[in-house]
Amino acid sequence: MGVTSVRRIELCGVALDVVTDHPALARYLEGHFAHLQPAGAAAGDPDVSVRVRWTEGPRDSVRPETVFPGWQADTMIHRDVHVGPNRVVWLRVDDVASLAIASEHGGRTRRFELCFHFSLGSRGWRERLKRAVYRRKVPALRRSRLSTLTYYAVYYPVWWQLESRGAGHPLHAAGVAIDGRALVLAGLPGAGKSTLATSLLAVPGAELLADNVLLHDGRQVYGCFEPLLLDEQARAWLGQRSALRALGRRHMFARDAYHAPHRTGGLAPGAVVVLARGRETRLTPIDA
């Protein structure tokens, strides 16, 4: 499979180049980050360079030299983590056997290589049997991996770059700019961060910072772009906002993906609200 280049992505002040041998991932990234790609040829070296390899079929034993040929990482500091000069190799990222990452930083550009091995969770004849039985579902299963790979190929490298510079730290929170201040909406998954952030966009003058991840530098918070995922009810709250552009992509819980304008400049937080589900609606102050 040939190498497919993806145009440079500029996210949160970081210039990132991605190269992949998987055309479906290249197309996914092109649509996902369409308005964050500079017009024309990329100028200068990127801050971060990422190469993503997609493999299928029989697999060699998982060792640094087999997964990442040419990456010298002779010292094992953990069962799955090996290090070498200015580099680290992680063979089971977050205990996921199918995903491995290598990283190197020794100059202007921080370099990453990802290897994702697609399988149905078996080996040998069992894997072949599963593919035969579920052959109609295999294309959809491949597509379902693309959103996860987007985080490991783009978002995480950008955040690691910012953290290494002390320029930004990610928060799992939504945010809306209202009257020159940032309203930060934190809480566990499913608490209602995205729902409340989306509904607040109906407030005159409100601007979206993010509905999933914010960045902070200790003084201000910044938005980190991701497409909005809206179900029919949330979409109805926004009325006929022409600024929303559908990506033609459906996610879990019958939510469709939309590009929406978002504020990129930093703002001081005006309030932080930690959301939780309960039997009644109430607002309880939290002591600092």
pLDDT (0 to 100) of residue 120: 62
Alpha helices in the chain (DSSP H): 23-32, 64-67, 124-133, 138-144, 146-150, 156-164, 193-200, 232-237
Residues pairing with 256 in the sheet: 230, 250
Of 206, 175, 208, which is closest to residue 193 (Cα–Cα)?
Answer: 175
Q: What is the pLDDT of residues 40-82, one digit of tens each?
A: 556 788 999 999 999 887 777 888 888 999 898 999 999 899 9
Distance CA 278, CA 111 (A): 45
- CA separation, residue 64 to residues 81, 93, 160, 173 (Å): 9, 13, 22, 35
pLDDT (0 to 100) of residue 162: 94
270, amino acid identity: G
| Torsion angle (degrees, nearest 10) of CA 174, 208, 220, 36 | 100
pLDDT (0 to 100) of residue 277: 84
Distance CA 179, CA 207 (A): 9
Residues pairing with 269 in the sheet: 182
DSSP string of 18-75, one letter each residue = EEES-HHHHHHHHHHTGGGS-SSSPPS--SEEEEEEEE-SS-----HHHHSTT----E
**Residue 175 has which token pair?**
């945010």
- CA separation, residue 79 to residues 82, 89, 98, 114, 121 (Å): 8, 11, 16, 18, 21
pTM: 0.85
Distance CA 250, CA 170 (A): 26
Of 66, 2, 10, which is closest to residue 39 (Cα–Cα)?
Answer: 10
pLDDT (0 to 100) of residue 5: 66
> Average pLDDT of each block of 10 consecutive residues along the chain (288 residues)?
73 92 91 73 83 84 88 91 94 87 92 87 64 71 87 95 92 92 91 84 86 92 85 71 71 75 85 89 82
In the three-class reduction of DSSP (H, G, I as helix; E, B as strand; rest coil), residue 99 is classed as: strand
Residues pairing with 182 in the sheet: 177, 269
pLDDT (0 to 100) of residue 145: 87
